[in-house]
Structure 1
Amino acid sequence: MALKRGSLAALLSAALYIGNAPSIHALQNGVGRLPALAYNTWNAYQCNIDENLMVTTAELMVSLGLQDAGYNRVNLDDCWAMKNRTAEGYVEPDTTRFSKGFNWLTDQLHSLGFQAGIYSDSGWYTCAGYPGSFENEARDAETFQNWGFDYLKYDNCYIPYDDIIREGVYGKYQRMSNAITNLSETTRQPPILFSLCEWGNDQVWLWGASVGHSWRTTGDIGPYWNSLANIINTNSFITQATNFYGRNDLDMLQLGNGNLTYDESKSHFTSWALMKSPLIIGTNLSSITNETLEILTNKDILAINQDNVYGTSISPFRWGINPDWVSNASYPAQYWSGQSENGTVFMLLNTLDEPADMFFNLTESPWIRAGIQYNVRDLWTHTDNGTAVRNFTATAVPPHGVVALLLTEAGDEPAGTMPLCAVWAQCAAQNGTYVQG
């Protein structure tokens, strides 16, 4: 499906808006500078949750090495509450499944070295029908903080009628953002990290950074390739919205939850990590496979996601199958690059149903210098694979597979490298004579 001319114009206008928008300082307070690495209960358990499951999951994250890899949050999703608020208007945890209370639970998680996350909704009810936070934002923010939670996932169900809410989608989320900010200023405690699960507005990336630390950019993810391709395609046009303290959220990781092949799972994790999305595990850890664990703990890929120098996402430098800037939900952009503390990152994504060779000129990426040769490190094999001069070809990339590379400068190109310019149509000598590129 080709992107309409008007939609492209809107995207380009939005890009200019992002570049010229004033910096948002309210959220740059030390919370949420880097993408969250976390576990969330929904994918594996939906409403079948209790306090023992939460503690067992945290203990498994330690024993499986996920905590050592950087995953430092355990997030409770929907269905944790009693169906009704108390007479005083407060939410309370289910008295059977969380009989010890949430202070006990968060104490357990904190003692194991994790931060603790909770879930609520910007409407009357959560998506599963439990009390939402609309018109109770300040009360709920204070309650969550008093219980010891550090993170809030905030959903988008059961929206009040217009003549009641009297807000746009921005204002609906700003209510809880203000409550969290005001609470932090009053208590002098760090603010709760605020994750917007706002899947109903395709321009959330324009205003998300002024409200929260991450924002969902699409509907719910599914555990199959077409869903992944659609999400990658959508986000290929809005990568400029991601930076330190605020980022596009591509939804939870589906590794081990569906029919993804091993190569599709690697593409899933690589795309999410290098686009600096939060990495939220939803796999049942009691039955996790070694393959899934290997993917989730790839130290080279995680290092890019958690880069302390560059908070920006990789972006396409060539779409590949499609002309540049053409939207195709089944065949998203294939050639991506970005900056990192240790070099230039490349992602080559084979969106075809068959193996493919993938070639690019190095200086197609804006982060590569002409006249320089580059050392090539493969971020999946964890090997150094020689030197690239002018171009690189990845051979026989598997169907729906990925190649992730880190290129670092290795000195000048060999003398006599031809052509004189690798890609420039305007290649010229100092005397003004054009030469063939």
Structure 2
Amino acid sequence: MDWGFDYLKYDNCYIPFDNLTQVNEVGRFQKMADAIAAVAGRTGTAPFWYSLCEWGWQQPWIWGVTMAQSWRIDGDIKPYWPNIAAIIDQASFQYWGSDFYGHNDYDIMEVGNTGQGVPPGNLTYEEAKTHFTAWALFKSPLIIGTDLTNATDETIEILSIKDLIKINQDPHIGKSISPFDWGVNPDYVSNSTHPAEYWSGNSSYGVVFMILNSQDTPATMFWQLINSWAVRAGRQYNVYDMWSHTHNGTAVRNMTLELPAHGVAALLLTDAGPEPPAEYPWCAVDNHCSYRNGTYAIHNGQLPTT
């Protein structure tokens, strides 16, 4: 049997009365999953990708993986920065729902839809880059939502960034990146205008960092590497920029870069051996760091000189 398609988005519109279905959302989606599995088993064909769409109403990031490969976590996306920022903010609390066999779906991408629609989309080039970067590193399905026959060179450039697609399609690691510092907003507090700005995660190719400037003006972004769980203490790292495709030297303990308004950096760090012996004190964290004699070295982000 040939299905004739390899992807099914099963929507939640026009929900029947409960006195007819008596199964709630989980039960309705499970019925379709059972039907897909039954036909695949009877015909010996591989089942297609099953995508749930109930807009996060009943926490599909908890149960979606029991029956499907992806699930929407929010309402319909729109081609405006406030909407993209709000989805990134939600991702900072639901990132853990994505793994190798199932993925949070942050909705179809709006890259390339500037000037289209009613009212027309207004994402800037930097915002579109941030949008694509986040979706790729969140391990969301990368579904193109624009007319490629009329796509600009900038749109094609963004949608063709192989370094980011490679992370999204990592054959061994399916987990999303996660935030380790919120930046403008207090840590672990939701803010749809200023979502978490400092994200990291692991990949088959190295440690991944996404740095986001949520502000409306250019900003200097500074962070300590060791604040990311994926970084090893006492090591230095080679830095590869996944947007410029350039190798940008070696990072020791912290990094600083400049980003435009709503801009993004996507970095891949690989181990470059022990950090230089001159680094002092012997641990890079701010709290509970001690000297060899056992006394605390409290430096508040600034490494003291020897």
Taking the aligned partners of 1:301 and 1:147, their CA distance within structure 2 comes to 31
Match of 2:11 among 140, 146, 155: 155
Aligned-pair identity (%)? 56
Question: What pairs up with 1:107-118 in 2 under 5 angstroms?
Answer: none
Match of 1:286 among 149, 163, 166: 149
Describe the shift of the 1:175–1:427 C-alpha distance in structure 2 as closer, same or farther (beyond 3 A): same
Match of 1:223 among 63, 79, 96: 79
1:311 aligns with 2:167: no
- Residue 143 of structure 2 aligns to a residue whose secondary structure is strand
What amino acid maps onto 1:270 in structure 2? Answer: T
Taking the aligned partners of 2:189 and 2:140, their CA distance within structure 1 comes to 22
Taking the aligned partners of 2:103 and 2:240, their CA distance within structure 1 comes to 27
Taking the aligned partners of 1:149 and 1:237, their CA distance within structure 2 comes to 33
User: What corresponds to 1:369 in structure 2?
Assistant: 232
Match of 1:201 among 57, 61, 75: 57
User: What corresponds to 1:423 in structure 2?
Assistant: 285
What amino acid maps onto 2:256 in structure 1? Answer: T
1:249 aligns with 2:105: yes
1:301 aligns with 2:164: yes
- Residue 348 of structure 1 aligns to a residue whose secondary structure is strand
Question: What pairs up with 1:12-161 in 2 under 5 angstroms?
Answer: 146-161=2-17
Using the TM superposition, give the Cα deviation of residue 434 of structure 1 relative to its aligned residue in structure 2, in angstroms. 2.9
> 1:176-233 CA distances to partner (integer Å, 9 max, x unpaired)?
0111111111111101210112215151111110121000000000010011011111
Q: Is the 8 A contact 1:236 1:316 kept in 2?
A: yes
User: What corresponds to 2:192 in structure 1?
Assistant: 329
Taking the aligned partners of 1:347 and 1:263, their CA distance within structure 2 comes to 14
1:406 aligns with 2:262: no
Q: Is the 8 A contact 1:419 1:436 kept in 2?
A: no
Describe the shift of the 1:189–1:314 C-alpha distance in structure 2 as closer, same or farther (beyond 3 A): same
User: What corresponds to 1:175 in structure 2?
Assistant: 31
What amino acid maps onto 1:229 in structure 2? Answer: A
Describe the shift of the 1:365–1:386 C-alpha distance in structure 2 as closer, same or farther (beyond 3 A): same
Q: Is the 8 A contact 2:209 2:266 kept in 1?
A: yes
Taking the aligned partners of 1:334 and 1:242, their CA distance within structure 2 comes to 19
Q: Is the 8 A contact 2:86 2:195 kept in 1?
A: yes
Give the aligned length: 292
What amino acid maps onto 2:198 in structure 1? Answer: Y
Describe the shift of the 1:200–1:304 C-alpha distance in structure 2 as closer, same or farther (beyond 3 A): closer
What amino acid maps onto 1:316 in structure 2? Answer: P
Q: Is the 8 A contact 2:281 2:290 kept in 1?
A: no
Using the TM superposition, give the Cα deviation of residue 424 of structure 1 relative to its aligned residue in structure 2, in angstroms. 4.1
Using the TM superposition, give the Cα deviation of residue 147 of structure 1 relative to its aligned residue in structure 2, in angstroms. 4.5
User: What corresponds to 1:64 in structure 2?
Assistant: none
Give the unaligned 5+ runs of structure 1: 1-144
Taking the aligned partners of 1:146 and 1:158, their CA distance within structure 2 comes to 29
Give the unaligned 5+ runs of structure 2: 114-120, 300-306
- Give the root-mean-square deviation of aligned CA atoms: 1.3
Using the TM superposition, give the Cα deviation of residue 392 of structure 1 relative to its aligned residue in structure 2, in angstroms. 0.2
Q: Is the 8 A contact 1:196 1:212 kept in 2?
A: yes
- Residue 176 of structure 1 aligns to a residue whose secondary structure is helix
Using the TM superposition, give the Cα deviation of residue 281 of structure 1 relative to its aligned residue in structure 2, in angstroms. 0.4
User: What corresponds to 1:110 in structure 2?
Assistant: none
Q: Is the 8 A contact 1:152 1:194 kept in 2?
A: yes
User: What corresponds to 2:123 in structure 1?
Assistant: 260
Taking the aligned partners of 2:54 and 2:67, their CA distance within structure 1 comes to 12
Question: What pairs up with 1:339-358 in 2 under 5 angstroms?
Answer: 339-358=202-221
- Residue 237 of structure 1 aligns to a residue whose secondary structure is helix
> 1:257-304 CA distances to partner (integer Å, 9 max, x unpaired)?
121100000000000000000000011111110100000000111111
Q: Is the 8 A contact 2:281 2:291 kept in 1?
A: no
> 1:142-189 CA distances to partner (integer Å, 9 max, x unpaired)?
xxx654222111111010011011011111111101111111111111
Taking the aligned partners of 2:76 and 2:15, their CA distance within structure 1 comes to 18
- Higher Rg: 1
Taking the aligned partners of 2:3 and 2:237, their CA distance within structure 1 comes to 51
TM-score under structure 2 normalisation? 0.92
Taking the aligned partners of 1:233 and 1:315, their CA distance within structure 2 comes to 11
> 1:358-385 CA distances to partner (integer Å, 9 max, x unpaired)?
0000001001011111111111000000
1:269 aligns with 2:125: no
Q: Is the 8 A contact 2:56 2:72 kept in 1?
A: no
- Residue 288 of structure 2 aligns to a residue whose secondary structure is coil
Taking the aligned partners of 1:330 and 1:432, their CA distance within structure 2 comes to 43
- Residue 263 of structure 1 aligns to a residue whose secondary structure is helix
